[in-house]
Structure 1
Amino acid sequence: MLEPIPINADEAPAPQERTPEELLRIIFDYTAKISGERSIKNVLLLMADMGREMILADRCTVWLIDHAKQELFTTIAHGVNEIRVPLGTGFVGHSIETGECLLIDDAYADIRHNVDNDQRTGYRTQAIITVPFVGNNGVILGAYQAINKLTPQAVFSRRDLEQLKLAAAYAGKSLESVILQEEIESTQREIIFTMGQIGEGRSKETGNHVKRVADYSAILALGLGLSAHEAELLRVVSPMHDIGKVAIPDAILLKQGKLTSEEFDQMKQHTEVGYQLLKSSGRELLKTAAIVAHQHHEKWDGTGYPQGLKEEEIHLYGRITAVADVFDALGSDRVYKKAWELERILQLFREERGRHFDPRVVDVFVEQLPALLEIRERYKDDADETL
């Protein structure tokens, strides 16, 4: 097993305890970073880094409870990948189970030490602090664990314990907020996708249609240089583009022949209905879904509906979804037509570049065609679903 690397006095000065000014700087720096984070993984990483820097630990680990599996796990342990242990085992299990903070000088002299982790990682634990952290309701969420002090004394002090408790008090509540936010957004994603399936289901589309349009939209967004966040946002909301179809009568929605001008006018109302359903939300996901529902039938040359917007007046998300939706619609069987051959679809996009569609989006569509076709194959409709 590997021992912690000792500090050689001839090569570098041994680290000294943090001054009050240094501690404040570390706390302010990390609390500012944590408060701006929405990713659980990033919050956990910042928590681990903050604890390690505050008390000069060699490693810092953040453990969470997996209630479903009755395990403790960490994906943020400096130098290692995910570790899982049964609830109640080791120092961390004891600390979470009892709510007790632990300050240990020699881990191997304590029967609670779980040596399996050291054997798995090739790292030797010596001095250790374990501090449970709680959410706003006082329920324990997990624990901080700092391992091996880097100062010449090589053991943690009561001062270190108090400092780690301070970090845990802040970080636990911050983590709970991020978990809650992720749960809210996850629920929104499920609702959006389900509502999108409902909207498409009324016109006899399969669930795979909304999956394909979602992934097409994300690929096009990335190809246009949008950020990963924006691409994921568009992937999540694009299934809602036709949600307004819930208000269109079946006689029009399922008509196999050509619509009359009056019927088509009524069909076009689905863009306004979708927008009205979604526009009042203050949530980013639903606000974006409202844009897509409202504008995905606008055309680059201004001849689309419902507002007759043209070129850059149309939100980029609407321009992207238009290409993704039409590509999938043309390549799929519908109640009123059979699927088109790929070359016929590509010819239409060449003809409609700069008329129906944003030229730049069409160019990216052509560049990304292999990836789009792979998605189409992955989520192809079963024959009985298209009948």
Structure 2
Amino acid sequence: MQYRKFGPLDFQVSILGLGAMRLPLQDPHDEGSIDEAQATAMIHYAIDHGVNYIDTAYPYHKGMSEVVVGKALQGTYRERAKVATKLPTWLLEACEHPEKYLREQLKRLRRDHVDFYLLHALDRNRWETVLKCRVLEWAEQAKARGDIGYLGFSFHDDLATFKRIIDTYPFTFCQIQYNYLDVDFQAGQEGLRYAASKGLAVVVMEPLKGGQLVRLPEEVRRRLAATGRNWTPAAWGLLWLWNQKEVTTVLSGASTMRELEENIETASFAHEGILRPEDLVALEEARRILRGIAPIPCTTCHYCLPCPQGVNIPFVFGLYNRVFQFRDLEGARRTYFHFLRPEERPENCVECGVCEERCPQKIPIREELKKVQDFFQRSSQEAM
């Protein structure tokens, strides 16, 4: 495992952190049904192989992620990794006191303090709520009491808002969505460099765009293979990030032990400047190809869920993108009609708009659901 300095701190963080948002499930239709035995084995394996940063959050896996992480980090593992979790800022709009959420999280995590605490999923509106409700003043008090080690924020909005947040308060770290496909998306590369120039540690989430950069179409695979590098698609995505000195650590949202093992192996030889000019050119061409064939920019982060009507928005969008990215109409259509529950289909959408308020990617979800529904209905009729 390789390590980098965590912003202004003396702490040397593993360049690979473990994100506990996509842990293995017992029931693929129930995000709360974490397979505890498998998840615990993965957390222990990661720590045994040098990972010392575990990231979770209040809503992940319907609140069960913090519980499972807390259980896994008992005994000898307790002091071997730092834990990061997040304050659900969207629940503070009426200036509800954040203390109750922190208390609940400490209980779930079985800890008396949180090493790294983030204001979760900030955008311009939530940032205004944070300021209006004096959340920063509360956080300072929590730090002084020792309940919080260091304060940071995760982010989903435009670059101007990102810079404004950084310039308003001396955060220790930030967390951004960043990968070789989303170079100019949200904070993007300019935001990464801006945060680093201000002394913040930068934690990267969605390094493989919710798994999309693993399931590459053949055209992209051929282009990357032409470089002569014997790397998997996941390795390409991670190494592109670690090639940049401004990236402090990258969260692996692995769902299986095999994925985690591969990511840890890649981290063992990664370093700044590992990519040659011809590698970077190949990734630029991969980006051009992929941008042209993925119609809905969904990362399957699940922030849009639960839908009041039960629509499985990320899964539906994933099936639609699968048709265009991987040329798998038959497989996507079969899954849509035979494995997607009736209540999970887009025809159940009543256009309440709750999902769009939550979506970090600002996708016009209601409009896209109509498009997906029409597409699969037409494709089914044509197949008859």
TM over 0.5: no
State TM-score, norm by structure 1: 0.23
Which protein has greater RCO, CA pairs closer than 8 Å, 6+ apart? 2
State TM-score, norm by structure 2: 0.23
**Structure showing the higher helix proportion among its residues:** 1
